[in-house]
Structure 1
Amino acid sequence: MIDEKRLVEKAVAAMKNAYVPYSRFRVGACALASDGSEFTGCNIENASYGLTICAERVALYKAYSEGKRDIVALAVAAEVEEPVSPCGACRQVILELAGNAVVILSNRDGSRVMRTTPGELLPYGFKL
Structure 2
Amino acid sequence: MAPENALTFTFSGTQAQVNALNRDLAEWIDATDQLGGRASLRTAPPVPGEQGDVATAVDIVNASAAVVAAATNAFFLWLQQRRSAHRRIEFEAVRPDGTRVSGTVDDEAQLPAVMARLAAFAVAPPDADE
Bigger proportion of residues as helix: 2
TM range (shorter): 0.3 to 0.5
The structure having more radius of gyration, on CA atoms, is 2
Output the TM-score relative to the length of structure 1. Answer: 0.37
Which of structures 1 and 2 has the larger relative contact order (alpha carbons within 8 angstroms, sep 6+)?
2
Output the TM-score relative to the length of structure 2. Answer: 0.36
